[in-house]
Structure formats: structure tokens, C-alpha cells
Structure 1
Amino acid sequence: MRLTQAQLEPHLKQGLQPIYVLVGDEPLAQRECLDAIRVAATTQGFDERTSLIVERSFNWQQVQNFGQSISLFSSRRLLELNIPNGKPGVEGAKALQALATKTLPDTSVIIILPTLERDAKNSAWFSTLESHTQVITLSEVDATNLPKWIANRLAQQGQHTSIQTLEFLAHQVEGNLLAANQEVQKLSLLYPQGELSDEVVREAVLNVSRYDPFQLGEAVLAGDAERTVRILQGLQDEGETAVAVMNPLMWVLRPLVRIKQAEMRGANLTAAMTNARIYGDKQALVKRALTRLSLRQLDAALQKLVDIDKMAKGVMLGDAWLEISRLCFGLAKVRSR
């Protein structure tokens, strides 16, 4: 069964289903869907949550072992299974099909997938998931609909503004829903409910910190190692968290992988960038990055961000900020081939 993000919350009130599959690269939608399921799980007595990240050396027997184990602390459990590259492999495909057709007792499972390539979409394992689970596609919002999306978010917090101001906000965030959501939340903290004038919105949006994580992504793409180091230090000095820096980096690198794959297939580069929602001046920035960075380097960078996420959450040993710094500096200093 397919659900939209809007349908998820009322669906959850009817009780958690055995398996949910989140598919897509949109980070805000993924975070909000995960949060909604987690809150519903806690409310409905799922007191234990386990996260597994599928990497090259992942042992799929862990999933079966989890189902057979008995929790000492909770009778109902939530299992999150994150497959960052969307490729479970032969053993993983079998395990996912078995999981979909014979669910784990007293367990609700969330399977997290990126935007899938055509082969994965047409695979037997994904077809089985589509037939037996609740699939939520994490859709991006195109530039035309972004002002309306921002208006709806403002309305949820009792605020509204003019069409012109909504278009200004949409232009400022350049299609990035994480950034758009941050700006909307900032307006709720700064101003009471009611109408927001163009002047107060512009003042709030343009009065930002000297450094922000999106500037870091641009410096990395541009291959400006000196600016990359300066922004990293500034973000740390301003007290930014590793997770807040990592998410925009993921948002920058994921489309780059898709564009690089399209380029290697011989597809039109401009069309590939448009499909990845890269517009205007950013296209020149991305083109320069593509001449410097190989697909192998980009894939490795995304995998490293998965590890950094685990460090930031205390699941893996390591200094998340140090690893972010090493990753960004390493990508920025790669020279054109």
C-alpha cells in the first residue's frame, strides 16, 4: 500500500503496521516521517528502538536474530533498517522478501531507502515490499509549488504573508526544504501569529549568522579548500552541531551522485542537473565539481556521512566534527583531472 506523507499521521492513529518503507532523498520529509512513526510507536507501547545500518559487511542474519530474540525491557519493539545505497545485495534481497511476507512478532520495522535506480525499482524484492508493506515516497517540492508549501507551513503556526513574500522566501532557500523549514520555524520564534509583512520577513531571513552549513557545501563543490576550512571553523565557533552541518552536506552530495551517474551513461548534463533540481548559477558550480570528483569519491563521501551520523548519535566511536572536517577538506582539495 502506498501512502503520502500527508496521509501518514492519520494512518498512524489507527495503529502501527508491521512494516513501513521510506523511499527518497528528501531529508526533511525523511526526518518528519521517521519522527511521526517514532512518536506513534512510543504512544502505542513500543518502548524499545533498534537501528541497523546496512553497509558492505552487513550480516543479514542480524535481522532474523532480532526477530527471534526476546527483549528484557519491552514486549513491543521498533526496528529501523537503513540501506543508504539502496542496494541490499542478493542475501539482502532474500531477507527483505522474507521479512515482508513473514513479519517479525511484536515488531514494527522501518526500512529506509534512497531514491532507487530503475533496476532496483523493478526488482523482485522491491515489488514484494510494495505489495506487502506501507510505502511512503519522500517527494521533493518543485520550485513552482514551493511558495504554496511555505504558506502551508506558516499556516500551521498561525502566520501568513503575501504571495510576493512567499516567492522571496522560496527564492532564498533555492528549493531546499530543510532551509525553508528552518526559516519558517525562525519566523514563529520571532513574530506572533497573524500577518507577516514583507519587511519583517526580509529582515529575519537576511539577518543570518556569518556562516551556515549551506555555504560549506558550496565551498566544497567549488574546490575552495581555504574557504572550506574557514567556514568549518566558523561553524564550530558559532556552536553549530555536527548533525546540522552533516544534513546539508548530504543534500548537496546526493544529487551530485545522480548527475554523475547520468553523465557516465551519456545523458545530457543540463537535463540531468534540471532533473536533480540544480538551477541557475549552481549549475556552473556543479559542473566544476563533476570535473574534479569521481563517482567512487562521491559514493565514498556519502558512506562516510553515514558513519559520521552514527558518531554524532553515539552509535559509533569517533569525533563527528573531526571527521566532517577531514571529509570536507579532502573533497575540496581534489584537483581537476
Structure 2
Amino acid sequence: MARPRPEQLANATAKQLAPVYLITGDEPLVVQECCDIIRKSARAQGYTERELHHTDGGFSWDDLYHAASSLSLFADKKIIEIRVHNGKPGDAGSKALCDYCAHPAEDTLLLLVMPKLEKSAQNSKWYKAIDGSGDIVTVWPVGVQQLPRWVDQRLKAAGLNADSEAIDILCAKVEGNLLAAVQEIEKLKLLSDNNFIDAQLMSSAVMDSARYDIFGLVDKAISGDCRAAVATLHGLRSEGTEALPILWALSREVRALANIAEAQYHGESFDMACRRAGVWDKRKPLVKQALHRLKLRDLQMLQRKSALIDRSVKGAASSNPWSLLLDMVLTIAGVQVFSPRTQRMELRI
């Protein structure tokens, strides 16, 4: 059907909802915002029930058939949301999606969320089936050249204006991390008296960070400073920081490291792999240092742990997300995680 860009999604869904949506990309903030837009439009149009499924644990594609054929006694319409953590539904998922897209259930909206898809996936039967019956929203990374314009648009959406020098300062601060940029803009809304941000205000605002910083946590972990990383994690928790933004920052870094490690395994140069993974030049020494400690299998294990933490935060798994985040931070920092050692590390902080 259609392939709206993320910025077009609000208008498109307000006019008419497609029966199926696929949101794909590796920018967690924009992916989440696209999902939020679809859910909001769906609620406004009577979709009052939502079922959330994750394909990386205890999920069967038969659940899609069951969910589509049953409605709550208290809801006329519902959303079925399926998060395919690796972007590969497999043979069973491919058949289920093709069958569903051929005859979408009435009063049901299917929302699929996947990471960036390879070319082979885009040529698959299930992808073409979704493309034929629903809308596909591809979230592209915001690169170095596009970031100033993206920041300017976000500032304007927040009711703020900034000069080009101020925007450059913020871009340098966040190094392409969109979640960090949004957090800084929220802070600027509180600091600005006349809704205008000049270079002086921007500089003072971005330097006046909280005692514990999410992205400082990431840097400490990948540099191998496990004691400082654990202290920062505990500090963030004590200050009331939610687990999900921390997970997003750690998961983003792990995904970039895994992409670089896999590219190098196939013979690509470190610099080219970093460029493809969106790693800024000033971060390359940290990344190289982390890849000396973490092998591809370690990074793949961390990606699986990220998915478990995500489910735990959202109540879909019974594990303690903060304990899992601690394990994740220690592993990234190069500490082989065993329960007694983890407990000793917690006691020392």
C-alpha cells in the first residue's frame, strides 16, 4: 500500500488506518514514536484493546491466529503488536504473515516492529505481503549531515528557536544520539526565558549535566571501567531514572559493536565498519578498546539479554530489570558475570 515517512505518519493515520503496519529501523526513539503515533490514532478510532507479543521467548506464530480470531467482551477493536527482535520471522512466521495479510481480521490492527531489515528480508514473501496489504515505515539513521536539521525541527516542535552555533553545540554534545538530544531539549524548555537559545545558553545548559549521566554510563562501561560504570548505574537508579532509557543507550551501543565485529569478521576494515555503524570519529578509540574485550558471541549474548530486559521492564518477563542491567554493564566492561561476584560488586558501591 503506502510507505509513509515517520514525519508523515500522524497525518496519514488520522485520515485512515491501514490494517497492517511494519515499523523497521535502528533508531529506538523514532521507532517508539512511530508506534506511539499509530497507537494514539488507533485509540481515537475505537481500538481500545492491545495485545503485545515478543518473538524471542515462548512465542508461537499460532498466537497471531488466536489473537486475530478473538475479541474481548469489553472491546470492539484491538491492536495486535508483535516485536520481532531479529527481523527474521522464520518459516512459521512467514506463512502466518502471508496468510494474515491475505485476509486481515476485521476490527484488528496488526503492528509489527523490527530492527533494520537486510535486502534479503525486503525480497521475502512476508515482506511483500505486508507491503501489499499494509503500510511500511522505514526509520533511517540520522547522520552527521542531517542531525543539525533534525535538532532544529525538534527545537521548533518544542516551541524553541536556536541559532546555528547553538545547534552545532548540541549536535557535538549528543554525537548522533537522538534520545540524548531530546533529553537536552526538554531541559532547555525549562531554562529558556524567551524561547530563544543562543550559543552561550546552549553551552552552559549542555555542560550542566546531572551528577549521573546515561551516556557517561555507556562510555565508562565500554572503556572497561567497571567500578565507575556500576556506581553510575546505581546513581541513575537512586536519582529516579527509569530503566528503559538506560537500556536504549546500552542496547544501541551493543548493536553498533556487534555490527562492527560482524563486518570485521567478514573482512571489512575497522574504519569502514564504524562508518556503516554510525560511529563518530571521536568514539572510535573507545569502540576499538571494547572490541578487544568483547567477541561477536559476547555481543550477541548481550543483544539477547537486552531483549529480556525490555520484556522485564514492560512486565512481559518476571526477571528484575535492574539486576539484568547490572549484569549487562559488567559484561560490557569486561567482567565475567557470576552471581557471587555481582553481589560483591554491589556491596562495594
TM-score by length of 1: 0.95
> How far is 1:334 from its partner?
4.7
Give the paired residue count: 335
Q: Which residue of 2 aligns with 1:227?
A: 228
Q: CA deviation at 1:25?
A: 0.8
Which amino acid is 1:29 matched to?
A: V
Give the deviation of 1:57 after TM superposition: 4.5
- Deviation of 1:68 after TM superposition, in Å, equals 1.4
Q: How does 1:114-125 map to 2 (within 5 A)?
A: 114-125=115-126
The aligned counterpart of 1:315 is 316
Q: Where in structure 2 are the equivalents of 1:38-49 lying within 5 Å? A: 38-49=39-50
What is the percentage of aligned positions where both structures have the same residue? 33
1:42-83 per-position Cα deviation (integer Å, ceiling 9, x unaligned): 111111011000016421111001111231220100111100
Query: C-alpha separation between the residues in 2 aligned to 1:289 and 1:61?
Result: 40
Q: Secondary structure at the match of 1:2?
A: coil
Equivalent residues in 2 for 1:1-337, closer than 5 Å: 1-55=2-56, 57-334=58-335
Could you give the per-residue CA deviations for residues 151-186 of structure 1, whole angstroms, max 9, x where no partner exists? 111112222111111111111100111111111121
Query: How far apart are residue 208 of structure 1 and its match?
Result: 0.7
Cα distance in 1 for residues equivalent to 2:17 and 2:186: 29
Opposite residue 318 of structure 1, the aligned amino acid is: S
Contact 1:165 1:201 (8 Å CA) reproduced: yes
Per-residue deviation at 1:92? Answer: 1.0
Q: Is the 8 A contact 2:54 2:82 kept in 1?
A: yes
Structure 2 distance, partners of 1:57, 1:319, is 18
The letter for the 2-side match of 1:305 is S
Query: Are the equivalent residues in 2 in contact too, given 1:157–1:193 (CA < 8 A)?
Result: no
Shift of 1:205: 1.2
**Shift of the alpha carbon at 1:213?**
1.4
Contact 2:294–2:334, Cα closer than 8 Å, also in 1: no
Range with bigger deviation, 211-220 or 7-16: 211-220
Match of 2:343 in 1: none
User: What do you get for the CA RMSD once the two structures are aligned?
Assistant: 1.6
How far has the Cα of 1:252 moved from its partner? 1.0
Judged with a 3 Å threshold, the aligned counterparts in structure 2 of structure 1 residues 312 and 57 are, in CA distance, closer, same or farther, namely: closer
Q: Distance in 1 between matches of 2:271 and 2:335?
A: 23
State the Cα distance separating 1:291 from its structure 2 match.
2.3
- Distance in 1 between residues matched to 2:318 and 2:150, nearest whole Å: 39
Superimposed CA distance per residue, residues 123-146 of structure 1 (whole angstroms, 9 cap, x where no aligned partner): 222222223220001112111121
Shift of 1:193: 4.7
Partners in 1 of 2:212 and 2:308 — Cα distance?
24
Equivalent residue letter for 1:131: G
Deviation for aligned residue 1:190? 2.3
Q: For the Cα contact (< 8 Å) 1:5–1:29, is it kept in 2?
A: yes
TM-score, normalization by structure 2: 0.92
Determine if contact 2:165/2:198 at 8 Å carries over to the other structure.
no
Distance 1:55 1:69 in 2: 23
* Residues 22 and 136 in structure 2, CA contact (< 8 A), matched pair in contact too: yes
Q: Secondary structure, in 3 states, of the residue corresponding to 2:79?
A: strand
Listed as ranges, the gaps of 5+ residues in structure 2 are 337-349
